[in-house]
Each structure stands twice: as structure tokens, then as C-alpha cells.
Amino acid sequence: MELQTIRSNIVQAIRAYRVEDLMLAAEKSGQHFLYASVGNAQSKQEVLEGIAEAFTFPVHFGKNLDALYDCLTDLVHKAGPQPGFVVVLEQLPDNPRFDREAREQLLEVFRDAAEYWADRRIPFRCFYSFR
């Protein structure tokens, strides 16, 4: 799989792709591969904690959507030139404590991050699946 065949700066369901193929394509392209499986999470707080741990966010990560956006954009941007990103969020919960609205709010942060990186001409592709 070649990343060039996948539109840049998108957030989409992983349906047609396998995690292993995305990881290898990211490595081949020299891009960052960020993976979080949050299948055990039940709430927004637990989902954010799972993402923070998987992506090795700093200890001071605020565990809220604004802090998530800051870590995906400003913090990384200040670290220097970036080659691009392939992000996989697997098994997002679907339950009363993490309902459709909570999932959409989370995915909106990743859409905003994709837009942020698009403005800087850096590819940011995010794939997700639900449990």
C-alpha cells in the first residue's frame, strides 16, 4: 500500500485498510505512526487516557479535548519539522457513557488537527473503528 493513494488530511473509518498495512506504509514513507486501541475504555475520560498513554503525551496532559488538540498540533509542531502522520484509533466505545455525541466530538478534534497540518502542507491521516 502506498500512502499517496490515500487522500491527505482526512479522518475516516478504517474499513478498507488493515492496521499492519497502514503501519508499514507510514514507515516506508517516513511518517509517524500513532496507534491507540481503546477497546477497554467505557467513558470519554478513559478514551482520552488511552490515547494519551498510547501516543506518549506529556504527564501534564489535561485529559480533555482542548488538551488533545494541543498535543496533536502545537506541541508536535514546536518539536520541529514533521514528515506526516498516520493515526489509528481502534475500537472506540459505543455505549451510554461514550455515545455518538462524544465520539463525534473526539473525531472533530482529529479533523481539526488534520486541517491544522493541511495548512502547513503536512499529511495527517486518521483512521478509526468502533467496538
Residue 51 falls within a domain, yes or no? yes
CATH of the domain at 59: 3.30.370.10
Structural domain of residue 122, as residue ranges? 10-130
Residue 58 falls within a domain, yes or no? yes
The pLDDT mean for the chain works out to: 94
Residue 5 falls within a domain, yes or no? no
The count of structural domains within the chain is 1
State how far the Cα of 42 lies from the Cα of 59, in Å rounded to an integer.
Answer: 22
pLDDT tens column, 68-126 = 999 999 878 778 889 999 999 999 999 999 999 999 999 999 999 999 999 999 999 99
Residue 2 falls within a domain, yes or no? no
C-alpha distances out from residue 104 to 12, 28, 46, Å? 12, 31, 16
